[in-house]
Amino acid sequence: MILPVVPLAVPLILLGLVALEWWLTLDRVRHFPELPEPSKARPTVCLCMPVRNEVFEVGSALDSWLDQDFASLRLVVIDDGSTDGSTQLLQARALAFPDRLQVLRNDRLPPGWLGKNHALHVAVQQPQARAADWLLFVDADIHAHPDLLARAIAHLDARGGDFLALWPAMRVVGFWERVAIPSAFLMILWGVPPRRVQDPTSRFAFGAGAFILVRRAAYDAIGGHAAAPLLAIDDVGLAIRLKQAGYGNALAKGVPHLWLRPAHGLVELIASLRKNVLGLPGMLLVAPFLFLLALVFFSAPVWLILMGQAWAGILLWLAVTAMVGLAQLRFSGAQIDGCWALWPLALVPTLAAIVLAAWDRLRGVNRWRGRDVVLRP
């Protein structure tokens, strides 16, 4: 079959889009703040961590927080119905660190709540959290260098702000992780303009499940997680509500002090994307557009070559590969990886996640780690 030659305007539009993406990438590289040297200040901080079936990561992640050079840090972990061995691991840690770590088991999810939001809501009700000056929300797979929290406090002391979000470094291992996560990481990065996020007059706000440090008083003032119990992207939603209420959004890169492995293999990668890709309200309406956009963009090098514009397909492939690599080097401290050049294959998990997420929203549920939660007011 002979394919028709694509008009010259099509590759020019795509390359113009890539030029815009390069501008966004360079802006993030230039203006994302670095964490300063650690502060000697030690306000009271309570770390709140939800855990549901995280046995592969939570042990080493929790150890990294217990190793923080921060004597006033206390930890509250909510075991949200884990069935994979996480429970036994958490109980062992709690016995070893009774003065610093509290682990609570929760087996019942009340109606009208997502599991993570409810777990964090339970955590902030505990005495350690109520007494703290600052609340620190982290996911169960987040690892930190021992001086990370002291650096975060120094950043807030120097720049001000009522809540701080840190962009974590990504550790990828398996083939599909190495192919798909760097490009997904980059696309999320484009949506975080650091100067606007930190501008109190701008509507842009940013939160990350990897690390949100928020003043207890500010968190209480906006109603905490109880004010949006069914919001899947709770971290961004919390940041938006805080900024709308007039609280300052500080921002910084976590590399090399904060890192995570976002997924273990293709199935877990699709599940993670499925949970988040349509997580904000109203996103179901744009699902067909997102599907088409992903299909066109990720496959563009191939169809441009097949339709008579090989020069454009090769140039686009090289330009995006270089962009992905730059972001990984600067924001994750990664070693050069040949899998970055295979970014078009990210089409597979991306389209699968969009279709599954749209199916979830049509059914009115949010699915995560084997649990379907009905999304209703």
Q: What confidence score (pLDDT) does residue 278 get?
A: 85
Average pLDDT over residues 27-47: 96
Structure confidence by residue, pLDDT tens digits, 284-334: 899 999 999 999 999 999 999 999 999 999 999 999 999 999 999 999 999
Q: What confidence score (pLDDT) does residue 367 get?
A: 82
Q: How far apart are CA 97 and CA 223, in angstroms?
A: 31
Give the 3-state DSSP-derived string for 308-329, with helices as H, strands as E and coil as C. Answer: CCHHHHHHHHHHHHHHHHHHHH
CATH 3.90.550.10 positions along the chain are 32-168+208-262
Report the Cα 345 to chain-centroid distance in Å. 21
Q: Is the pLDDT of residue 22 over 90?
A: yes
Structure confidence by residue, pLDDT tens digits, 331-361: 999 999 999 999 999 999 999 999 999 999 9
Structure confidence by residue, pLDDT tens digits, 140-195: 999 999 999 999 999 999 999 999 999 999 999 999 999 999 999 999 999 999 99
CATH architecture observed for domain 32-168+208-262: Alpha-Beta Complex (3.90)
Average pLDDT over residues 223-244: 94
Q: What confidence score (pLDDT) does residue 269 get?
A: 95
Can you give the C-alpha Rg of the chain in angstroms? 21
| pLDDT grade for 34, boundaries at 50, 70 and 90 | very high
Q: What is the pTM of this model?
A: 0.93
Helix (H) or strand (E) holding 78: strand 73-79
Structure confidence by residue, pLDDT tens digits, 73-127: 999 999 999 999 999 999 999 999 999 999 999 998 999 999 999 999 999 999 9
Average pLDDT, the chain: 94
Q: How far apart are CA 31 and CA 73, in angstroms?
A: 30
Q: In whole angstroms, how far apart are CA 36 and each of 88, 121, 252, 255, 336?
A: 37, 31, 10, 12, 26
